[in-house]
Every structure is written in structure tokens, then in C-alpha cells.
Amino acid sequence: MSHYITAEGEHKIRTFKYKGGNISFSYNNIWSPLADQIIKVVPKTWAPNTITVAGLLIHAITTIILVMQGPFGSDAPKWSLWLHGFGVFLYQTLDNVDGKQARRLHNSTPLGMIMDHGCDALGLV
């Protein structure tokens, strides 16, 4: 036991269960049903955190391409805008798929929650 966390605090950390919810129209009618279809073809060997990081990498790469194509406020070519939009679409889709994969594999962990929300925060920067 650490000097910073009491025995009761350690027990609460170990037994914590995240129970998120989403009542948004787009999630319930577009993103979640799309992820439900995609998860059917995702291999069970793919770790949820791998899906999370893959989505962030796609988003980062398409963002870098967009910035390089339109530096210092210049107009970026249309293809780079479309590519970035597609990258954001893939990122958001994979962000929904990773959670469904974690629940499908009974592999929801505090680390996974940190990875998911951490990548979401980085993706917004």
C-alpha cells in the first residue's frame, strides 16, 4: 500500500466501472449503428487500444498533410481538405469501434479509458 492512497481508495480504484452514456441523436442513429456493423468484421485478435491508437495516427497524419499543403494560412488544395475530412471520419468511427471491441472482448480497463479519452484530447489539439 502506498502512502498516498488509502486501502479504501485502492479498493475503489480496483473495483471502478465506467458507465458512460450518450443521448445524442448522431451517436444513436449514425455512429453507433455504423460501429455495430464494422465490429462484425473486426478480428477479435485486435486489441481495443490498438484501434484507438490507429484512429489517432490516421487523424494526425491527415492533419499534418493538410497543414503542409496549406502552410501559413495559404489555401490548401481541395484533395487535402477531402483527405483530412475522411481522416476525421475514420478517427470518429474507430473511436466508436474501439469501445465496442472492448465490450465484446470483456476487456474494458481503466487504461483503455485513459487511452480513449487521452487520444480524444490529443485529436482535438
DSSP state of 2: -
C-alpha cell belonging to residue 37: 456493423
Contact 48, 105 (CB under 8 A): yes
59 burial (CB, 10 Å; 0-12 / 13-18 / 19+) is buried
Catalytic positions: 117
